[in-house]
Structure 1
Amino acid sequence: MNEHSRKQAPGAGGLSLHSTLIDHAAIQAAVQPWIEMECFQLSRGKRLGQLDCLDLGNTRIVREYQHATVQKIGATPGNLCTLSFCTLDRDLRFSEHDAGDADTVFFLSENSEFDIHVPAGVQTTYISLDQDEFLSAARVLNPAQWETAPQGVQPLRSNHKALFSDAVEIWFKTASVAARQGGAMDADVMRRLLLQTMLQVATTTIPDDAGTVPAAARVRALRICRQACAFAEDRLEADDLPTIVDLCTAVGVSERTLQYAFRSYVGMSPLVYLRLLRLNRVRTTLIEASPGEMTVTEAAMRYGFLHLSRFARDYRHAFDESPSETLAA
């Protein structure tokens, strides 16, 4: 279901460079196994985007470009943190935070849950690091800021965001040229240089008089929707289709409050979100099934699509292919 190419620089000591064209949300999660993650497609498109990854052992540079809107829900493992930046887009959401401004980068700590809404047309870039190593050096450079490690997602306004962007381009270009020409590269040297660059980005920040605490309404919307989505996921796992009444009851809010929360959370109504969630489930089922094991009708009805012609129309609109094409691939 995906096109995948890998370039390897000989003698690189574990360094690898690969680029993946993403045509299913599960692939976007699967090619990043170092972070527990589940992805959902939320806008139309057969192809979700492209992911480029430069793997330096325990440090990775990942660049993702979205052709279709995607939601990424997951958690970082122990002793892995990330620094990231993204295309400025008013509809992007990194947990309870928006994309910030031209100086914003994001720190995500170890053992932290995240919920990211990435609109079509947005590019996100992150670098995963050994958190113990990163924090040990950051505390030396800026003890006032880093003595106590931030928890969860922390937006930082950096004087050196451009340095971050330039470093990513340089590292990808260098690795690509080496792979193409067969030159040897020392992954450990590249990793140490990249760490020093990221320390400069993260420890030289711009004071923010307004503070970094998000608006209370946005935090509440995130909490409401995360509870509602977890409830919906549990019901779908049990082959029981959740309704809006079920969601309101489970979370303890009115339908109007739920509507406002989902508009802030993913830019759509809870009803549309639930339908897309079920369509994603059907697509995953069809991809994982052999044609003799499952029919399109069985998969559709399992997730509550009883009007099969409308289901087929909505499925094609979401994924730019028919359900039978997905099953046969």
Structure 2
Amino acid sequence: MRDRNGAYFQLNTSSLRQASVVGGLSLSSNLICHAALQAEMQPWIEMECFQLSQGKRLGQLDSIDLGNQRIVRETQEATVHKVGATPANLCTLSYCSLDPACRFSEHDAGNAGTIFFMSEQTEFDIYVPAGAQTTYISLDQDEFLSAARVLNPAEWENAPSGVTMLYSRQKALFQDAVEMWFKVAAMPGNAMHADVMRRLLFQTMLQIATTTTQDNASNLPAAARLRALRICRDARTFAENLLETEDLPTIVELCAAVGVSERTLQYAFRTYAGMSPLVYLRKLRLNRVRTALMQASPSEMTVTAAAMRYGFLHLSRFAQDYKRVFDETPSVTLAS
């Protein structure tokens, strides 16, 4: 359905999406009601999302698509955990709200001047608490690095790989630029062409990135955060592999598989996700059930079958936990 400004609105049971095409660029705004949708709304990056705190609605995702550049702003109403990897020749510059619980791979939110550079083909692991906001710009990496080396060869001749925490005195410019682009993109009848916006956005990101320095300031030593990340990533992979075979991992098995003590595993998960490994794994299984229920119809699956598939044998407790996290009963999810 179109309104008088040419915007169209699409309603379904999982999300509310508003999108429009203005001056050759694509602007969209989405209410996120399921973690899997948060990943699907960003198909240019391989990603999986899990909901970790209570809420029927996870938040909102706003994006501007400029072809080989994208601006993405995510506002969380429920805590999410995002894992994935960037494709070849795509890098990002990003920042997040100053929430001490925010984690970008082994880095925390840093300070008022912190931004993050993530290179192509980088595995990432991001924890975003409820109430936080993250924003990133995706760019053509070859184009970006070529220009950055001209402007600041000392810092960018050997470009950083993976996720790198940078400090910029121009972070405020980054934030102001993002707000400006969304306002411009939302203006009906705007005559600015997408290629003009692309050039301006590219130059702004270059200016910000080439006036940064590496900053390892953190409330926790970087080596300790990196070790926690590796421990929990290995534990999560081991647990997911068992779940695929409809087996349930125990803490003993996790410790044996990763090669750490229970105390180390507990400490790592507190750093990694702000909760114990048992709580995290239970919420991981709840997310798996919700995905299965949303993808099936009542004629294909029952709530009991989905719950038991992922190890929830105490069905009344499962239903209570499910409603506590997702703000709806599993039967409602299946019927949607």
Q: Same fold (TM over 0.5)?
A: yes
Deviations along 1:182-231, one digit per CA (max 9) or x if unpaired, are 333311110111010001111112575969x9532211111100000011
Indicate how the Cα distance of structure 1 residues 253 and 199 shifts in structure 2: closer, same or farther if over 3 A, else same. Answer: same
Selected match of 2:278 from 267, 271, 290: 271
Is residue 229 from structure 1 mapped to residue 239 from structure 2 by the alignment? no
CA distance in 2, matches of 1:25, 1:209: 31
Match of 1:296?
303
Aligned partners of 1:100, 1:326: CA distance in 2, in Å?
38
Residues 89, 140 of structure 2: 8 Å contact kept: yes
Total equivalences in the alignment? 323
Aligned Cα RMSD in Å?
1.5
Partner of 1:23: 33
Give 3-state SS (helix, strand or coil) of 2:125's partner.
strand
1:39 counterpart residue number: 49
Q: How does 1:276-291 map to 2 (within 5 A)?
A: 276-291=283-298
1:152 aligns with 2:162: yes
Contact 1:96–1:214 (Cα < 8 Å) also in 2: no
List, as ranges, runs of 4+ consecutive aligned residues in structure 1 with deviation greater than 4 Å.
206-211
One-letter amino acid of the structure 2 residue matched with residue 304 of structure 1 = G
In the other structure, the counterpart of 1:188 is 195
C-alpha distance in 1 between matches for 2:171 and 2:317: 47
Q: Which residue of 2 aligns with 1:8?
A: 21
1:314 aligns with 2:321: yes
CA contact (8 A) 1:85 1:126 kept: yes
1:81–1:130 Cα contact (<8 Å) kept: yes
- In the TM superposition, what are the counterparts of 1:82-101 in structure 2 within 5 Å? 82-101=92-111
* Cα distance in structure 1, aligned partners of 2:318 and 2:216: 51
Equivalent pair of 1:61/1:168 in contact (CA under 8 Å): yes
Residue type at the aligned position of 2:111: D
Q: How does 1:84-163 map to 2 (within 5 A)?
A: 84-163=94-173
CA contact (8 A) 1:81 1:129 kept: yes
Q: Which runs of 5+ in 2 are unaligned?
A: 1-13
What CA distance in whole angstroms lies between the structure 1 residues aligned with 2:170 and 2:50? 32
Letter in 1 for 2:144: F
Other-structure match for 1:52: 62
1:81-140, CA deviations, whole angstroms, 9 ceiling, x for partnerless residues? 000011001111000000000000000000000000000000000000000010001001
Give CA-to-partner distance per residue, 1:45-87, whole Å, 9 cap, x none.
0000000000001100000000000000000000000000110
Q: Residue 244 of structure 1: CA displacement?
A: 1.1
Quick one: distance in 1 between partners of 2:125 and 2:223? 17
Are 1:97 and 1:214, in contact at CA under 8 Å, matched by a contact in 2?
Answer: no
The residue identity in structure 2 corresponding to 1:114 is: F
Q: Please report how far the alpha carbon of residue 249 of structure 1 lies from its aligned counterpart in structure 2 after TM superposition.
A: 1.0
* SS of structure 2 residue aligned to 1:62: strand
Describe the SS at the equivalent of 1:111. Answer: coil
Shift of 1:295: 0.3
CA distance in 2, matches of 1:138, 1:40: 35
Identity %: 73
SS at match of 1:8: strand
Flag the 1:274–1:214 CA change in 2: closer, same or farther, 3 A. same
Gaps of 5+ in 1: none
- In structure 2, distance between residues paired with 1:207 and 1:312: 47
* Residue type at the aligned position of 2:224: A
Q: Secondary structure of the residue that 1:321 maps to in structure 2?
A: coil
Question: Any idea what the Cα deviations from partners look like across 1:129-174, whole Å, max 9, x if unmatched?
Answer: 0000100010011101000111100011001100000000000000
SS at match of 2:234: helix
